[in-house]
Structure 1
């Protein structure tokens, strides 16, 4: 079940600030409707944080630092009762409120609660509850021990680890609590986690244990040895228990029950029938592949290569590997060139500060193998920046073919446009600078909103990149179209994993480790999420052309893009409404 922060953290974490600080920072400048909306949203934030404080802490609410989630056996019943009571309160309020923005925000909260309630009920009906505790501990500790976290908060990482390991007075080890909930979730007809997921979770435990030790050493948190030693012993015991108890209950088929997959699509923001989404994506796949085939001979001619088909050209481009110790500097240079192009062509208003970037640790790569953006604190930001995190491998892929999808020059352009500028980094920079209501900040988030903008950002920069960068930009877009039909096909039993892998390897041209990462994502890590990229991108393109047609010569690219960013991470139907009712009239 996803809480307000956990839902966001699946794609990117959304840090915020303490409740009291929010009130102090927002009250003088916020419109009255925002204050009214926030008062409702605070009730939901505080309720969920009372049960899931690690999510609240990761989101930046300092009063929950050092606390761990409620793992009592009756937690879900208490959550459902509280969620239903709040939903009824919001449903009553929406009838009474006259401000349309407050009503929109109340509907956002109601929709979020409906999803949480449905997820809780369906998961309890169908699934055994297995927790990857070591990864959870690593993520929670890493949220506090981070360059993006204020130094005064980091000391709480010790209390957090002590609570996780049961070395804090009055606590039990999280591993034992998780075992207890697994046993309590047993029931006739229930299915366990996917067998591959279970095996990989066991294999990654030493990586997370060493990663946690590394974090405590890096940030010089003293007094942690007892808790760290207890952690090592408990993680080893949990690995044995997982192998002996959970693995025999694991399912061989990764497919979810149909109801759960349908709800997942809705939660990620995909609001059309999956068969229609598949049909649109297949058409797009053909068109994008044709564009790659058209570009390939030009690249081959420039480089004097005999083979001119797109597969051969991609193989040649990947031979130009950037060494791991040079990859950060290389990407910094590419980002600087992209920013120059943004200014020259007046595409969007850039932040004035330098982009933050670093290479991921081994434990971070194990938790999230793909390059990604770690956003800053959003509400009440005091100077924290988002960070573009580069990964150089997939630790779960094993020995064999190299993970070569991002470490060659031609790939750096579109990846930077997506994760950095004008993509995710600018999305969150705009939120920091302009601010939105808490409902839109924490509960309107879904992958269609967020990833749609990042793919749109790629498209904005494509004409201003070298031809090799344009070629790989089309390959990345080809991957997003493939995701939009392979994910539902796999989850609806319309294609085998082997055939899906063939599409990714032979048509999309990703490496074996990348293909494994993709298929794992579709089948059991985040079923339904992968299709949100292409769906959100196409919706934003449609909105862009609608604005161009309506305004003609008065259409201004930078004004349009700045307006989209100013709206925050809101559902795209609300974005379209704002463009039609606010942006277009204002430009006329």
Structure 2
């Protein structure tokens, strides 16, 4: 199965909203070869991307399809390599490289998973994700109706189908029989999944109840019973096999970093991030000192000042109005300072449901479909806390619900960050290769952290302090994530460092620690690394252009490239943007 591709791209897509240039149309024909393989082995991912014809289909778990998926993927790689030999358009050749690299890297990742890891499935989270994606209000109602067919197939109520819970257990036992030494999942991951299961099930039921679909109740009742039994089996069969050590095998962690876009060693990453952290801390103390003087605070240490500012918590009913106000203030500054071109329409911000809090505890952008998009845009989802842990203790956040913290989070998730990033891809019509198969966290998150930095000078001092805190957190991630996975610090050490030195709440520090250890080991490093690579490219352009450098033109150019890797972006900037500015013509 194209596991890493389907998981990574399940919430993304490649666009046809704008008129396609000829090279984009030809590139998209090449990308269809890989999309077809994805659709064959994970139709849920294909339909969530917007690919037509797969809305009622589900992943075939009735037999082991690993060898078949490898064969099909290798055949596509061979065909793409053949097309590369005769292609003359440089942009199409770049896209062919992206497609070939994406397929080959996922073959490597899936082979590692197959060789080393027990195929544990958190089916509660998986099915909640399918239901949430399908019932997204941005999805046309006709497509939403197909969910009932899918659910019947998952429940084994459709002719020719067995319950997905039974099939998952069959595949698990099959792999255990083939290799009893396969590594089980991390114990903390399994325990958290079991704790979250009731919330996920309720989340599915709530979404169905509000959907307007008819006749879902019997199917949901069957699924609820099956998933409850499955969870009991996980507790009996998987939990005893779970490993107490969170660390992945070194080759798997290194592969994770590569999949997320980090192309340097963990040791080099740690070195860069430690230096950056200390420099940001110095800036924070300078800014905190100015705030302490302004507000007559008795202590100018950044930790104390942040604690004082966090006391200005916003009443829950005022959270959304305040974030809307912040967005308007940031947009005004973007236009006044000529930072980047903004659309005229409003951005969407909403609060997360309890199930969404459990599925993804950190605030995030819920991106739009980019294939077959009919005018849908991304939405900034503001989470409100962690689900209860194994002891039943719930951990709330105070990180995003205070006055000073609203500035940089809005800049990151809404504008000029992710919301604008995905909107530009829809409106400019980037190729599927650049919008989907070039997707990784470095290529996405680098821009959002860069957007925070662009807006920091135009925020009040307290907003600037928390913009620096956010950058400090990203630097901390880039050394704590590899350190905890290399055994150089304990998970509890990570949590206490983030609370004591970065100033995160216990809830936020807990979800960060879980992120590094089992939710997505390696992913959190991508923000820091992507930001560094983008800033390097920006500075190289400024050195080349000096007084001819135009920030707005540069930022518009970067967004118009799609989600290309840092090296491809650097090449485009130096070979297209810089010459165009020297000639006095802005390339959009």
Q: What TM-score comes out, normalization by structure 1 length?
A: 0.96
Give 1:205's match in structure 2, choosing from 197, 203, 208.
197
* Equivalent of 1:32 in 1, 12, 22: 22
Q: Is the 8 A contact 1:324 1:392 kept in 2?
A: no
The aligned runs of 1:508-527 (5 Å cut-off) are 508-527=502-521
Which residue number corresponds to residue 12 of structure 2? 14
Query: How much has 1:16 moved relative to structure 2?
Result: 5.4
Change (3 A) 1:169 1:518: same
Structure 2 counterpart of 1:422? 416
Q: Secondary structure at the match of 2:53?
A: helix
For residues 221-370 of structure 1, what are the structure 2 equivalents within 5 Å?
221-370=213-362
Alignment-derived partner of residue 427 in structure 2: 433
Report the CA distance between 1:5 and its aligned residue: 4.0
Cα deviation code 1:46-96 (max 9, x no counterpart): 111011001111112231112211213321111111111111222222122
Matches within 5 A, 1:78-89: 78-89=68-79
> Is the Cα contact below 8 Å between 1:505 and 1:512 reproduced in 2?
yes
Checking the alignment, whether the CA contact within 8 Å between 1:47 and 1:82 is kept in structure 2 is yes
2:585 is aligned to none
Residue of structure 1 aligned with 2:477, choices 463, 483, 491: 483
Q: Distance in 1 between matches of 2:293 and 2:395?
A: 28
Conservation of the 8 A alpha-carbon contact between 1:358 and 1:390: yes
Unaligned 5+ runs, structure 1: none
The structure 2 residue matched to 1:586, chosen from 561, 568, 580, is 580
- 1:463 corresponds to which residue? 457
Aligned residues: 577
After superposing the two structures, state which structure 1 stretch, 358-367 or 294-303, moved more.
294-303
Shift of 1:457: 0.2
Q: How far apart, in 1, do the equivalents of 2:395 and 2:229 lie?
A: 33
8 Å CA contact 1:504–1:510 kept in 2: the answer is yes
**Cα separation, 2, equivalents of 1:142 and 1:380:** 19
CA distance in 2 between counterparts of 1:348 and 1:105 reads: 26
Residues of 2 paired with 1:384 and 1:250: CA distance? Answer: 41
1:142 aligns with 2:132: yes
Counterparts of 1:308 and 1:463 in 2: how far apart (Å)? 21
- The verdict on how the C-alpha distance between 1:35 and 1:402 changes in structure 2, with shifts beyond 3 A counting, is closer
Q: Which residue of 2 aligns with 1:111?
A: 101
Output the CA distance in 2 between the equivalents of 1:400 and 1:431: 38
Q: How does 1:53-68 map to 2 (within 5 A)?
A: 53-68=43-58
Q: Deviations for 1:379-437, whole angstroms, at most 9, x for unmatched residues? A: 44322121111111111455265311111111100000000000000000100110111
Contact 1:480 1:534 survives alignment (8 Å): yes
Answering whether residue 367 of structure 2 is matched by residue 375 of structure 1, we say yes
Matched residue SS, 1:63: coil
Larger RCO: Structure 1 or Structure 2 (Cα < 8 Å, ≥ 6 residues apart)? 2
Structure 1 residue 180 corresponds to structure 2 residue 170: yes
- 1:287-343: CA deviations, max 9, x gaps? 001111111121122222212211111111111111222211110110000001001
Q: Is the 8 A contact 2:50 2:373 kept in 1?
A: no
Per mean C-alpha deviation after superposition, the further-off stretch among 422-431 and 271-280 is 271-280
Q: Higher mean Cα deviation, 551-560 or 491-500?
A: 491-500
Residues 401 and 180 of structure 1: is their aligned pair in 2 closer, same or farther, counting only changes over 3 Å? closer
Question: Aligned match of 2:533 in 518, 539, 551?
Answer: 539
Task: Say whether the 8 Å CA contact 2:434–2:561 is kept in structure 1.
Answer: no
Q: Deviation at 1:488?
A: 0.8
Whether contact under 8 Å (2:14, 2:431) holds in the other structure is no
8 Å contact from structure 1 (residues 452, 532) kept in 2: yes
Contact 1:5 / 1:59 at 8 angstroms: preserved in 2? no
Q: Does the 8 Å CA contact 1:487/1:528 hold for their aligned counterparts?
A: yes
- In the aligned structure 1, how far is the partner of 2:27 from the partner of 2:62? 32
Q: Within 2, Cα distance between the matches of 1:199 and 1:400?
A: 15
Q: 1:3 Cα shift?
A: 5.0
8 Å CA contact retained: 1:328, 1:390? no
Q: Is the 8 A contact 1:4 1:442 kept in 2?
A: no
Q: Which residue of the partner structure matches residue 524 of structure 2?
A: 530
Shift of 1:490: 1.1
Alignment of 1:399-414 (within 5 A): 399=393, 402-414=396-408
Q: In the aligned structure 2, how far is the partner of 1:66 from the partner of 1:210? A: 23
**Distance (Å, rounded) in 1 between the aligned partners of 2:456 and 2:483:** 30
From 340, 365, 384, the equivalent of 2:376 is 384
| 2:472 equivalent to 1:472 | no
- Secondary structure of the residue that 2:3 maps to in structure 1? coil
Whether the aligned pair in 1 keeps the contact of 2:13 and 2:436 (CA below 8 Å) is no
> Hey, what's the Cα distance between the residues in 2 that align with 1:380 and 1:128?
36
State the SS of the aligned residue for 1:481. helix
Deviations 1:447-470 (A, max 9, x none): 111000000000000000010000
- Secondary structure of residue in 2 paired with 1:308: coil
Residue 148 of structure 2 is matched in structure 1 by 158
Q: Does the residue aligned with 1:172 lie in a helix, a strand or coil?
A: coil
2:5 and 2:106 in contact (8 A); partners too = no
Q: If the length of structure 2 is used for normalisation, what is the TM-score?
A: 0.96
Q: Which residue of 2 aligns with 1:564?
A: 558
